Structure 1
Amino acid sequence: MPRSFHSTLSIKGPYAAAVCVALAMAGAAAADGDRENAPRQPEVASAAPITVEVPKTTLSIELVPVTMPDGSTLLVTRREVEWPLYDTYVHGLDQESPATPDDAGVVTRPTKPYINMDRGWGHTNYPAMGMSHLAAQEFCTWLGHKTGRTFRLPTEAEWEAIAEQSGATPENIDARAWHLGNTSDTTEGRALKEPDDLGLYDLLGNVGEWCTTEDGKAIVRGGSYMDEDYLLTPKARQKPHRSWNSTDPQIPKSKWWLADCTWVGIRPVCVPGDPAPAEEPASAEDTSTN
């Protein structure tokens, strides 16, 4: 059963620090005070990470501006998505009236997992893991709907460009990444290692991160706690495998959860200035089975 990330063994030296061009949230609040889909105003430059509140929750996410090779700016989630935020999406904890959700027809939520997906390793402040690529994409749609921004999974090229600027070297990988040699064969909690040169935590190691290839296929980048330290490089990549869900007893097998995959998570990116997606995904009634 393939689990290890394949990677070149050479690690490029740190690039010049990315030019930080951040954008501040603004918009008129809805009548009930909720900021979902609020009108947006021109965003202004800032040198600091952006904190984005998630309406109807006590949660927030931090976004770090990263300059891409073409000169554009991408806002990158500072940490991998953690269980409390992912639980909010899965279980509808942001809904005031679960019987008639206010995002019905806009957001597709997964079915509930039939096993304890955190494996008892830790929940609060721990990275969510074991979701499918589809579930990761729909989570980004939900997050965009909640915040009025465009969130999505990074493309494979974007993720690699970000990682190339992270300053990873064989000398600092142990201080910055969780890998097979410094964990107890489990994921680890929030920001326990040093941030990288961009200010991101756990870009390499801990859990791998869902991305999308140029032709729209799922790919996992960055390596995980299951990999040797020398495999954790900007080139680390792994294709999904059917064995990741081999013990799921459901027929058909779940399209939302990977019962045998404990090493894949999510780090969304946000496009500065773009409105939230206008196109509505399929309704939960049509797509949430399994």
Structure 2
Amino acid sequence: MINFQYVRASTVKEAIGTLAKAGDGQFIAGGTNLVDLMKRGVTAPQKLIDINNLPLKDVKSDKTSITIGALALNSDVSENELIIKQQPLLSMALKSGASPQLRNMATVGGNMMQRTRCPYFYDTAMPCNKRKPGSGCGAIGGYNRMHAIFGTSNQCIAVHPSDMCVALTALEATVTVSGPKGSRKIPFGDFHKLPGQNPEKDNILQKGELIESVSIPENDFAKNSYYLKLRDRASYAFALVSVAAALSLDGQTIKACRLAMGGVAHKPWRLSEAEKFLAGKKASAENFEQAAKLSMAGAKSFGYNDFKLKMAPAAIVEALSKASGLS
């Protein structure tokens, strides 16, 4: 780890201004991912701006949404009574992620900003276009068991590691960010990027922007939500495939459906066609299987992750069955 400057900001304006002047700097809160990357030499910011003193930790509710501050801890959000009652899908996803110790340090904003756990990205001796653009992708043609089957490019097949972000994508959250040019709101599904020809760019944040909060619009998915995470071991493991499923039911008729997947793409993968198919139909195994089949359009595996082509649709059916109460 190289030497770096460390400063602590007390206001949002101060944090943004400090970063703007820093050149090569980054915000730090819990540091559960950033510090690891610095230790391994994957990233080497010259200045860290500590934002833990900013007033961005509250979970608030109004008539139309729940707003979560970017510095709210994953553990606090997962156990928040308001979240458990109104947005249980988010609570389930957060409790599926990492370990209790990490959840006690990790923040909502930091969770959004975490980078892929692809071993080629972490190993500075290996080629990786995310870490060093133009160096190649070691995973393509290499050991790619954990890698993407949707939205890949010839530059990168890494997956986004977050569970929280999969749930927030399904719940159609909105991100509020502030920067040198002012504040703006970003639909959560647009926040993260597919690799394309620039896999080093994980999201659409502009230089100097800071995540302030995430808002989840009011919905009636609380009674019929489920987060399914399939992984190699029961705890502290990243998803092979995960599914966030939320249904609004009238008896056995699906009034509305929200579906997103993790472990399959460079960003949380929204299953829009499956949602459209299920709207107005009966909650049944047959319809869930058809929705899963539609969801796999365009999927492509790379050898060691071929199993995901079968695991993913099976996971969709299981998550929908759990959410609807069929199983």
Q: Shared topology, TM-score over 0.5?
A: no
Give the structure, 1 or 2, with the largest relative contact order (CA under 8 Å, sep 6 or more).
Answer: 1
- TM-score, length-scaled by structure 1: 0.27
User: Rg bigger for which structure?
Assistant: 2
- TM-score, length-scaled by structure 2: 0.25
Q: Which has the higher helix share?
A: 2
